[in-house]
Amino acid sequence: MPGRTTIAGRVPRTGTIGSCHEPAQRGEERAVTDTRAPGGRLRLAVIAGLAALALGVGPLVQPTPVAAGTADNIEASLMAWVNADRQQRGLVPLRKYGKLWTLAGDRAATMASTGVLKHPSCLSCMLDARGIQWYLNGEVIAWTSWPWGSQAAESIYKSWKASPEHWNLLMSDRFNYLGVGVAYRKSNGTTWASIVLTESKDRTDPWARMTSVSRSGDDITFSWTGADRKLQTHTAGLKNYDVQLKRDSGSWRTIRTGITATTLTLWNRAHGHVYKLRVRARDYRGNVSGWTTKLKIWVP
């Protein structure tokens, strides 16, 4: 019956989507039971403590027929859509974190292999076991029988977007990192997805870039810029730079460490040589960028 919500409903076979979410923070675990019903409708049920919430969402718009893609394509699309919608709402994009990406991939693979849309009994335990620091965590999951590729990605994303509970997690003003995973269940042609989210300490490298180099006689001046990459929460902030110099084809030599200046003049350089300089940035959490592309100048 349209609009009816049932617990642990039978997995539908055609053009339907199942989806769940789980937010949790230190000292709190929330149990979530998924419910699904046939007829092109999304069914959700969330149980938290003694309060229960059931939600029925009407038929989703059929995805536009497009070319199939790879798991990487689907994951990248889901992340891009989430962040585009966050930016439209004045939120900071969620940053990719490798360990979360691997966890989300494992979660999607587990659900695809079992054919069961279900959150782990203790997501925070899985994060702790993998050495992932967190203050708050959550997960949105889904499966779809739309064709593998962009159609599956679009149908999954629309299901999350149509559910206020899921959407509030993806548009949270506290989460700052995510991992996205998708997997394919060959036996019935379904696609399974997980997005794991955390509010965590800053683990993103800052950036630096060389901006100019000039010469006055045998004195040369290099300039650069840099910043810490902004997170929704817990941005550490740029702390300082390290500087390396290279003459001709020699080795790189560190000539400054932990400086806050963004300009350096090297006086009385020997004539007949090429001088090259590069920098890297460091934030207050100790995250360090890669070395910049060098700038060079000839002192005739």
The pTM assigned to this predicted structure is: 0.79
User: In this predicted structure, what is the pLDDT of residue 67?
Assistant: 40
Give residue 94's pLDDT: 99
pLDDT of residue 7: 17
What the block records as the tokens of 177 is: 């990192």
For residues 43, 49, 173, 153, the Cα torsion angle rounded to the nearest 10 degrees is: -20
Residue 44 has pLDDT above 60, yes or no: no
Lowest mean pLDDT among 46-55, 153-162, 258-267: 46-55
At residue 160, the pLDDT reads 96
Which residues, at least 6 apart from 34, have a Cβ–Cβ distance to it below 8 Å? 8, 18, 19, 20, 44, 45, 117, 118, 141
AA letter at 214 = S
What pLDDT does 48 receive?
A: 26
Residue range 137-156: mean pLDDT, rounded: 96
- Using pLDDT thresholds of 50, 70 and 90, give the confidence band for residue 37: very low
Q: At what angle do helices 71-88 and 150-161 cross, to 10 degrees?
A: 30
Say which residue, 65 or 116, is predicted with more confidence.
116
Q: How confident is the model at residue 69 (pLDDT cuts 50, 70, 90)?
A: low
> Tell me, what's the pLDDT at 42?
36
Residue 241 or 4, more confident: 241
Reported in sequence order, the residue ranges of the chain that DSSP labels E, i.e. its strands, are: 17-25, 32-34, 42-48, 51-57, 95-96, 136-144, 177-185, 190-199, 207-216, 219-227, 238-247, 253-259, 263-266, 273-283, 295-299
User: Could you read off the pLDDT of 182-237 as tens digits, one per residue?
Assistant: 999 999 999 999 999 999 999 999 999 999 999 999 999 999 999 999 999 999 99
Task: Give the DSSP letter of residue 176.
Answer: -
pLDDT, mean over the chain: 83
Residue ranges of domains in the chain, CATH in brackets: 17-199 (3.40.33.10), 207-299 (2.60.40.10)
Q: Which of 164, 172, 170 is nearest to 193 (CA)?
A: 170
Buried b (16+ CB within 10 A) or exposed e, 41-63: bbbbbbeeeeeeeebebeebeeb
pLDDT at 25: 53
51 vs 295, higher pLDDT: 295
Of 61-65, 70-74, 127-131, where does mean pLDDT reach its minimum?
61-65
DSSP-assigned letter for residue 229: P
pLDDT in tens, 70-127: 999 999 999 999 999 999 999 999 999 999 999 999 999 999 999 999 999 999 999 9
More confident residue, 158 or 17: 158
Tens digits of per-residue pLDDT, 251-300?
Answer: 999 999 999 999 999 999 999 999 999 999 999 999 999 999 999 999 99
Task: Count CB neighbours of 225 within 10 A.
Answer: 15
* Amino acid code (one letter) for 281: A
The 10 Å Cβ neighbour count of residue 298 is 11
Please give the DSSP secondary-structure letter assigned to residue 67: -
DSSP labels, 5-33: --TTPPPP-SS-EEEEEEEEETTB---EE
What is the CB neighbour count within 10 angstroms for residue 276?
Answer: 18
